[in-house]
Structure 1
Amino acid sequence: MLSPEPQPLRPLDPAEEALVRALAQVTITLPRMVDADMVRDVGLRLSEYTLLRLLSEAPQRRMRMSELAEECNITLSGMTRLVSRLENQGFVQRVQCAEDLRGWNAVLTDDGLARVQQAWPAHLASVRRHVLDNLVGHDLMQLAAGIRRIARDS
């Protein structure tokens, strides 16, 4: 079967160019802004909050370290450092995986659950201020669907 002829590249129109540039900018600035709010308001980095939130939502409040690293978009060694920091604070424990003794799970402690619950209002306020307040009047479900399609393609 013959491959279809490649389509010639079409330059971005002004609206497309503006969107692509805005998306690139927001992927850099939004995490920084929310992180700064979280540190200022509750003394917790966004990466720490994200890890604690993911564990709070996981079955039995536990996840494999490799799955956490993937969900947080960081390396396994970066996840190990992050979990160690939270483990030293009593928010997380590391336990060997029962089904695979080579792997490790991160488990949210009761103190960790209390910490993520305490930090949640600050995270919510930051996300509302930096994201949702700027999208009033837009179809959020349609926007979310488009962003998920972008994420799936990467």
Structure 2
Amino acid sequence: MRDDEAAPLTEEERNLLRALRPAMAALMRSFDDDLQRFQRLSHTEYIALMFLSEAPERTMRLSDLAELCQQSASAIGRTVKRLEAEGLVGRQQSVHDARSFNAVLTEAGLARLEEAVPVHVASVRRRFFDQLDGIDLGKLAVAFQRIAQGA
């Protein structure tokens, strides 16, 4: 069956599809609001710090960080610039490619991330996981992974 010949969506499927975008937007806004209120960090900045903390030597090429954070090169550049201004991240030229720059998580950045983790975890639990009571999280995670991979 071709995509244009697929059976019409059921009411339940339409309702889920219509709820998806506003739910994701509300989640991201809520995570951002909580982090801003309690830690003076945006959700985007938090995610960048998180990925840098997990990287070898807490260092990552800006292009790789942009991909993980799902940001454009210019957007991640602005994010890193804000974090750099606060002393949370450093920027250095890559030793492997003179055209590339790396973001490096500083000790202050790691400490700030560690302070923000409990705030973010509480926000994620309250605003997301508590709403999924009775849903098989393993199956949901697999479904989201398939969607992200374009299956």
TM-score (norm 2): 0.94
CA distance in structure 1 between the aligned counterparts of 2:84 and 2:147, rounded to whole angstroms: 34
Q: Is residue 2:96 matched to residue 1:93? A: no
**1:27 positional shift:** 2.1
Aligned twin of 2:135: 138
Read off the aligned partner of 2:51 and give its amino acid letter. L
**1:124 positional shift:** 0.3
CA distance in structure 2 between the aligned counterparts of 1:52 and 1:65, rounded to whole angstroms: 12
**1:137 positional shift:** 1.8
Please list every run of at least 4 consecutive aligned residues from structure 1 whose deviation after the TM superposition is greater than 6 angstroms. none
Read off the aligned partner of 1:138 and give its amino acid letter. I
Aligned-residue identity in percent:
45
Residue among 2, 25, 30 paired with 1:6: 2
**1:33 positional shift:** 0.9
Unaligned residue ranges in structure 2 (runs of 5+): none
**1:152 positional shift:** 0.9
CA distance in structure 2 between the aligned counterparts of 1:152 and 1:105, rounded to whole angstroms: 27
Matches within 5 A, 1:9-88: 9-88=6-85
Read off the aligned partner of 1:152 and give its amino acid letter. Q
CA distance in structure 1 between the aligned counterparts of 2:92 and 2:37, rounded to whole angstroms: 32
Give the total of aligned pairs.
Answer: 150
CA distance in structure 2 between the aligned counterparts of 1:45 and 1:6, rounded to whole angstroms: 43
Read off the aligned partner of 2:89 and give its amino acid letter. V
Unaligned residue ranges in structure 1 (runs of 5+): none
Structure whose CA Rg is larger = 1
Residue by residue, what CA displacement relative to the aligned partner does 1:4-35 show, whole Å, maximum 9, x if unpaired? x6361321101111121122222211100110
TM-score (norm 1): 0.92
Aligned twin of 2:126: 129
C-alpha RMSD of the superposition: 1.3
